[in-house]
Structure 1
Amino acid sequence: MSKKWLIAVTGTFTHLLLGTVYAWSFFQTPITRFAGWNNAQTAWAFSLSIFMLGVTSAWAGNKMSVYGPRRLSMIGGALYALGYLISGFALARQSLFLLYFGFGIIGGIGLGLAYVTPVATVSAWFTQKQGLATGMVVMGFGFGALVMSKLLAPLFLKLSDGNLSTTFYYVGAVMIVLIPALASFLQLPKNDKPQETIKEKIPIARYIKTKPFVTVWLIFMINIVAGMIFISFQSPLLQDMLKIRMPAGTDFSDAGVVASLAAAGATLIAASSIFNGLGRFVWGSISDKIGRMPTFRILLALQTVIFGLLIFVRHPVVFSVLVCIVLLCYGGGFGVLPSLTKEMYGSKLMPSLYGALLTAWSVGGIVGPQVVAFMKDNYADKAGLYAFVVGGGLLIVGLALSLEYKDPREAG
C-alpha cells in the first residue's frame, strides 16, 4: 500500500470513530428518561458538541501548518475520549452541566481538532480525484453512527447491565486508545511540511467577507440543518410513529415494548448512517464529473422534495426510507465541500478556509436539533410535521442560493 493510501485509510478509520457522535439519537430518549430532563435540555449536549466541532475546526484548519496534522488529531482524539469519560461521571451524578461540559465542550473541541486534519491532509496528498479521496475519508465519519448504535453501545450496555454511565466510560476507554493510534499516521507531503509555512500568516479574513464564501457557508449550513433534524431525533421520531400504529391500550412503559421501540430506532440509525457514509463517497465522486456546485443543487432540490413528502408520510417504513435519502444528501455535502473549497481558493488556503466553512456545521448543529426538541416539548403530536415544514422552507432558500452562486475564479 502506498503512503498516500495508508494515510487515506487511517484517516478514514479515525473519522469512523469520531463519527460515533452521530449516534446521539440512540441515547437521547434513554438519557431523558433516566435523568428526568426534557428533550431540549438533553439535546443541548449534542448541539454544543457539534457547535464546538465547527468552531474548533476553523481554528485547527488555520493552525495545521503550524502544529501539523498528527499532533492536532492525536490531541483531538484524546479530548473526544475524555468527553465521554466526563459524560459518564455526569450521568452518574445526573449533572446536566457536567454533561454539557464533557460531551458538549471537551468532546466537541476534540472532534474539531481531529476532524479537519485528516481531510486536509488527504486533500494535500491527492492532486487528482479530490472528491473520491476526501469523500472516502469523510465517509468514515458517516458510518460512525452504525458502529455506535449496532456494536459499541449495545455491547457496553449489555456488559454494564444497562448502566448508561458505565457505557460512556467504556466508550471513552476505547476512544482514548484507538483514535490517537490511528491519527499517529497522519503527515503532510514533503512539499507541504509545517516548518516551511510556520512563519507565514494566511490572510483568510478578506476571503471570508466575500459573497461566494458567504453563499457556500449558507448552503452548507442549510444542508446541515436538514440532516441534523434526523441525526439528533430520528429514533424518537420513528418511535412516535410506531406508537401510533400499536394497539390501543399498549403499555409504553413495559420493558418489552421499550426494548422493541429502541431496537427499531437503533436499526434506523444504523441504516441511515450507511447512507450518510456512502453519500460522502458517492456524491464526492459524482462532483468530480459534473462539478461541485451542480452537485449541491441536486442535493438541495432532492431534499426539498423529500421534506415536502415527509409532511404527509405516516408509515414508518416510508419514513425510514426518506430519512435515509436525506442522510445520503447530508453526507454528500461533506463529500463535496473539501474539493469545492480547494477549487475556489487553492491548496495553500484550503485548510484554513475549509475550517472556516465548517463553522456552518456549528450553527446547523444547534438549529437542527433544537428545532425538533422545541417541537417535541411543546407540540408533541405534531413535532415532526412542524420540523419538516421548517426544514423544507430552509432547503428552498438553500436551493435559490445555489442557483445564484458564482464561482470566484470566474468572477475574478
Structure 2
Amino acid sequence: MIKMDRKWLIVIMGTLTQLSLGTVYAWSFFQTPITELVGWSNTQVAWAFSLSIFMLGVMAAWGGAKIDKYGPRKLAIIGGVMYALGYVISAYALSSGTLWLLYLAFGVLGGAGLGLAYVTPVATVSKWFTEKQGLATGMVVMGFGLGALVMSKLLAPFFLHLSSNSLSTTFLYIGLTLIVVLPISASFMQLPPTEKEKSQVQTKKSIVSSSSSVSKLIFSKSFIIIWLMFMINVVAGMIFISFQSPLLQDILKLQIPTPDLSDASVVASLNSSGATLIAVSSIFNGLGRFFWGAVSDKIGRITTFRLLLALQALIFVALIFVSHPLLFSVFVCIVLLCYGGGFGVIPSLINDSYGAKLMPVLYGTTLTAWGVGGIIGPQIVAFMKDNYSDDAGLYAFVIGGSILVLGLILSYFYSGKKV
C-alpha cells in the first residue's frame, strides 16, 4: 500500500513539474507586449522563444541518455532552477533593453533547463509502473501541454496586475515563483529501488553493445523520415504556439470599424482574447497526446501520423480564407490537438520499429527535431509579420501548408520494417 501511494505521489509531482515547465508554451502572450515595450522586431523577439525550444530539444536528448548516470532528481532540480533563472535574468534584459541577454537567459539558459527537466518525469514514472503505465505517463505528458493555460490565465495576468503592468517585473515574479515550485516537485523524482541497482550496469552494457548499430540506424532512410515527419509536425504547431495571440488579435482588429489601439480597454480586450485562445488551445495540446495515442493503437502508428499531417494540411489551406475569429480559434485548437498527437505517437512508432532496448536513445535523438522545428515555425511567422504585416498570416499558412504536404508525401516512403 505504501509503495502504491509513493508511485502516485511521483506521478502527481511529475505532472506538477511538467505543468510548470509547460508555461513556456504561452510565449505568444508576451510576443507583442515585448516588441512594443522595447521596440524590437517580431523576428528579434521570436528568436528568444526559438532558441529556448531548440535548447529544449537538444538538452532533452542529452538528458535522456544521462538519467541513469546522474539520477532523475538531480537533473530535474538543476533543470528547473535553470529555467526559473532564465525568467529572472530575462527581467533585467527587458528592463535594460538588452536583446543578447534575453537570448542568453530565456533562450539558452532557460531552454537548456527545460530540456534537462522535461525528460525526467516521464522516464521516472514509466519505470515505477508496470501496469497502468499509459495512464500514469499520459498524465505527466499532458501536464506540459497544459502549462500554457496556467501561464496565460493565472500567472501572467496575476503578476501583471500586481506589478501595474510592468513586463520586466512580471518576468521576475514568474521566475521567483518557479524557483520555489520546481525544485520542490522535482525533488520527488527518483527511480524505483530495483532500477537504481540495475541502471549503471545496464547503461554500460547497452553503450558497448549498441553504439555502432545505433549510429547506423540514426542515418538510415526510415529513421530520417521519422525525424522529418516529427519536425514538420512541430513546425506546424509552433507557428501557432509562438504567434496565436498576435494572429488572433490581427483578425479581431479587422472586426472593429476604427480600432483605437491607444485605448487601454481595447488593448486589454484584445490581450484577453489572445490569452483565452492560448488557454483553450493548450487543453487541446494536452488532450491530443491521449487522443491520437489511442487512435494509433487502433489504426497503426504511421497511418495515424499521416492522418495528422493530412488534417493539418487541409486546415492550413482553409485558414488562408478564414477571417472569422471563432473559426480561426477552432482551427488553431485542431492544429494543436495534432501537435500534441505527434508527441503521443512518435515514442510508440519508434518503439514498434526499433524495439524497447533502442527506444530511449533513438527517441532522444528524435527530440532534436523538436528543437529544429522550434526555430523554423516561429521564424516563419515573425519574418512575415515584420515584412508583410497585412498578409503575415496568409503567407505563413501557405508555407506551413506546403511543408505539411511535403511531410505527408515523405511518410509514404517510410518502410515500417521492425529492426
What range is the shorter-chain TM-score in? over 0.9
- Report how far residue 127 of structure 1 moved: 4.5
Matched letter for residue 320 of structure 1: S
Q: Is 1:152 aligned with 2:162?
A: no
Q: Which residue of 2 aligns with 1:338?
A: 347
Unaligned runs of 5+ in 1: none
Match in the other structure for 1:322: 331
For the aligned residue pairs, the C-alpha RMSD in angstroms reads 1.7
Change (3 A) 1:328 1:291: same
Cα gap change, 1:333 to 1:126, in 2 (>3 Å): farther
1: CA distance between counterparts of 2:43 and 2:115? 23
CA deviations over 1:359-395 (Å, ceiling 9, x no partner): 0011100000000000000111111011001111111
Separation in 1, partners of 2:24, 2:359:
25
SS of the counterpart of 1:251?
A: coil
TM alignment of 1:191-230, pairs within 5 A: 191-193=194-196, 194-200=199-205, 201=207, 203=211, 204-230=214-240
Q: Deviations over 1:23-69 (max 9, x none)?
A: 00000010000000010000000000000001111111111221122
Change (3 A) 1:135 1:295: farther
- Tell me how far apart the structure 2 counterparts of residues 103 and 332 of structure 1 sit (CA, whole Å): 26
355-364 or 251-260, larger mean C-alpha shift = 251-260
Number of residue-to-residue matches in the alignment: 409
2:288: which partner in 1? 279
Q: 1:393 to 1:134 in 2, by over 3 A?
A: farther
Matched with 2:360 is: 351
Instruction: Report matched runs for 1:360-399 at 5 Å.
Output: 360-399=369-408
The percentage of aligned residue pairs carrying the same residue is 67
The offset of 1:113, in angstroms, is 0.3
Pick aligned residue for 2:166 from 163, 166, 184: 163
Matched, 1:25 2:28: yes
Task: Report the CA distance between 1:12 and its aligned residue.
Answer: 1.8
Q: 2:185 aligns with which of 171, 182, 187?
A: 182
TM-score (norm 1): 0.95
Q: CA deviation at 1:264?
A: 0.8
* 2:274 equivalent in structure 1: 265
In 1, distance between residues paired with 2:218 and 2:183? 32
Separation in 2, partners of 1:341, 1:124: 18
The one-letter code matched in structure 1 to 2:77 is M
- Determine if the alignment matches structure 1 residue 41 to structure 2 residue 51: no
In structure 2, the CA distance between the partners of 1:356 and 1:54, relative to structure 1 (3 Å rule), is same
Deviates more, 1:185-194 or 1:351-360: 185-194
Structure 1 residues 189 and 341: CA distance shift in structure 2, 3 A: farther
Q: Following the alignment from structure 1 to structure 2, what is the Cα–Cα distance between the partners of residues 126 and 334?
A: 20
Cα gap change, 1:343 to 1:8, in 2 (>3 Å)? farther
What is the CA–CA distance in structure 2 between the aligned matches of 1:131 and 1:287, rounded to whole Å? 13
- Structure 2 unmatched ranges of 5 or more: none
- Secondary structure of 1:326's counterpart equals helix
